[in-house]
Amino acid sequence: MRALDEFGSGTTGSRVLNGTYAGHKAVEDALCEFYAMDHAMVFSTGYQANLGIISTIAGKGDYIVLDIDSHASIWDGCKLGDAEVVPFKHNDIEAMEKRLNRIPEGAGKLVVLEGVYSMLGDISPLREMVRVAKAAGAMVLVDEAHSMGFIGPNGRGVAEDQGCLDQVDFVIGTFSKSVGTVGGFCVSNHPKFEILRLVCRPYVFTASLPPSVVATAATSIRKLMRGSNKRAHLWENSRTLHAGLKARGFQLGTEEPQSAIIAVIMPDLERGAAMWEALLKEGLYVNLARPPATPANMTLLRCSLCAEHTAEQVETILGMFERAGRAVGIID
């Protein structure tokens, strides 16, 4: 509120012109501290962070090797940069290695991975994938949109949790999930990182985030640094919801809970939509995800838990799923 009062509702300009205020630098400092990295660049959304960084570091003649289930912003970043795009089967280390080995000698290589995949809420075997990518001479970018503040001893994500964060060249993240506002970023230790600010089109040619948004994000990031109690509670929520849904006979996206996303697989789109409506009538909103946004043509009811959900609320959610599932005929 103070930022809004002092600096107004918007910056009316690009980060490279009149749109960099003290608050933008402060949030980048907070990100450097949070990830213990040298550089941070804040974008207006996470979508733009992927668009900007991927298209700038991999251009014509370079190769991008990426998981087939990558987020739309990653695919769009590849298109914008004009690099050769080589997808591999989801989380398949061998397939990734084969693709990397087929790239012509001397070409620039970028491997793009996600810590948590947003549709099924499954995590990637990052440690091994990063090792293989590095051995093939590739740079590595990991989108940790769904793990920030939650996964890893300091909430730095799956790469931190699996002990390979120091091998990752670029981490992409968003303020639209655990940070609770809007915005996106890239953090890195790359010595030439700062040059990106001048050549990255989705950073240069758009207005910067409003002062109140960056002030909120900086405060929130600093809170996440001290969030270990909340992290523990969120894991509890995730485990309870996963176990409860499984016990009631629902088919889930992962065998075990791997993140704060619990995806419930619907038999088809028709019954998925009916279930979604029945849950809404119960008073529960969940996201209905359907092809082409989902892998393998699945229809999903995608639950995103947060640390603010109480244990009691998670039990209420389970009761709602049970009643709706019976009414629609998805469970017995």
Ligand X SMILES: Cc1ncc(COP(=O)(O)O)c(C=O)c1O
- Applying CB under 6 A, which residues contact ligand X? 45-47, 50, 71, 73, 114, 118, 143, 145, 174, 176, 184
Give the nearest residue (CB) to ligand X: 46
Which amino acid is located at 27 in the chain? V
SS3 state of residue 59: coil
Q: Which tokens in the block code for residue 97?
A: 């290695």
Query: At its nearest, how many Å lie between ligand X and the CB of residue 66?
Result: 12
- Which of residues 45 and 240 has its CB atom nearest to ligand X in the complex? 45
Query: At its nearest, how many Å lie between ligand X and the CB of residue 110?
Result: 16
Strand order in the sheet with 261-266: 251-252, 261-266, 299-304, 287-289
- Which of residues 174 and 208 has its CB atom nearest to ligand X in the complex? 174
Q: Which tokens in the block code for residue 14?
A: 């690009």
Q: Which tokens in the block code for residue 180?
A: 């609770």
Query: At its nearest, how many Å lie between ligand X and the CB of residue 172?
Result: 7
- Which of residues 184 and 202 has its CB atom nearest to ligand X in the complex? 184
Query: At its nearest, how many Å lie between ligand X and the CB of residue 146?
Result: 6
- Which of residues 45 and 162 has its CB atom nearest to ligand X in the complex? 45
The H-assigned helical ranges of 248-310 are 269-282
Strand partners, 251: 265
Which amino acid is located at 309 in the chain? H
Q: What is the DSSP letter of 116?
A: B
Q: Which tokens in the block code for residue 168?
A: 């990752």
Greatest Cα-to-Cα distance within the chain, rounded to the nearest angstrom: 61
Cα atoms in the 13 Å half-sphere on the side-chain side of 319? 8
- Which of residues 143 and 169 has its CB atom nearest to ligand X in the complex? 143
Distance CA 11, CA 29 (A): 19
Query: At its nearest, how many Å lie between ligand X and the CB of residue 24?
Result: 16
Cα atoms in the 13 Å half-sphere on the side-chain side of 195? 5
Query: At its nearest, how many Å lie between ligand X and the CB of residue 106?
Result: 31
Distance CA 255, CA 107 (A): 39
Distance CA 237, CA 192 (A): 41
Query: At its nearest, how many Å lie between ligand X and the CB of residue 215?
Result: 17
Query: At its nearest, how many Å lie between ligand X and the CB of residue 107?
Result: 26
Distance CA 304, CA 292 (A): 20
- Which of residues 50 and 188 has its CB atom nearest to ligand X in the complex? 50
Rg of the chain (C-alpha set):
20
- Which of residues 26 and 289 has its CB atom nearest to ligand X in the complex? 289
- Which of residues 46 and 272 has its CB atom nearest to ligand X in the complex? 46
